[in-house]
Amino acid sequence: MKVGFIGLGIMGKPMAKNLLRAGHSLTVFDILAPAVKELVQAGAQAGENPQDVARRSDVVITMLPNSPHVRDAALGDRGILKGIAPGALYIDMSSVAPAAVQEIAARFAEKSVEMLDAPVSGGEPKAKEGTLAIMVGGKPEVFEKAKGLLLAMGSSAVLCGGIGSGNVTKLANQIVVALNIAAMSEAYALSTKAGVDPDKVFNAIRGGLAGSTVLEAKTPMVLAGNFTPGFRIELHIKDLKNALDTAHEVGVPLPLTAQVMEIMQALKVDGKARNDHSGIVQFYERQSGVEVRRR
């Protein structure tokens, strides 16, 4: 299959490489030339811009930071819509506002192009492994046609409903992840301040009800003081803003999400916006006067 891939960042680059490994013909574009060069060396072709990528592809995938970037790549002067052929498929795998996805899908439908929104969860490690969890919105028959392609990048792909449902599900995911990291950070700050080794706390609770994928993935980073992203705090701020905006539109209060958002905003002000979101623990360390590390 001829696939176009736009957006070769922390997540997009390994996802694109997994498509190459699965045997797909790949044309790529990114505003950063070194990322494109790396994919070309791996076997992809370079596109000049999103329009050019779309012109060469049966399926176009975007993996970009936020709604404005997706809107520009999809609908801009040299955007995907200008180059994509009727009957082709556009899949946006970015984490964006559901309303933005629905707006873009309506524009593509005018050209007889189907669209899926298919954001992912799992961070850079699972992107590299090809074991991402993929949450999809769109028509069932379009999903079934694209499922094999998606599973070249993930271990699961679940249709959640109509267009935009993938991103509603991703917002729910990001709420759960943020609150898990904050709860974990509170617990380790408490144990450290009370004189109990947080590594021992981790090993004691991981097999019980408090155990989680978040606990397993983020505790080692916290205990090592390693906040190299994975998934940056500034991107999680973006997701929680989209969650709060969407919640306000539909009439759902999110008080815990709002609280964690303010914790992340405090870390951003403190110059830690590009830290991994496990760095939420640094807020609690500063407030408590302790350092949560393996002893």
Enumerate the active-site residues.
170
Per-residue tokens: 252: 């759902």
Q: How far is CA 226 from CA 50, 120, 139, 204, in A?
A: 36, 23, 41, 22
Which residue in 50, 45, 148, 99 sits closest to 249, CA to CA?
99
Start-to-end CA span in the chain (Å): 52
d(CA 251, CA 183): 26
Q: How far is CA 206 from the centre of its chain?
A: 25
3-state secondary structure of 68: helix
Instruction: Give the count of beta carbons closer than 10 Å to the beta carbon of residue 264.
Output: 24
Residue 243, judged by CB atoms within 10 A of its CB (0-12, 13-18, 19+), counts as buried
- How wide is the angle at C-alpha 147 spanned by C-alphas 141 and 149, nearest 5°? 130
Name the H helices within 122-197: 123-129, 140-150, 165-193
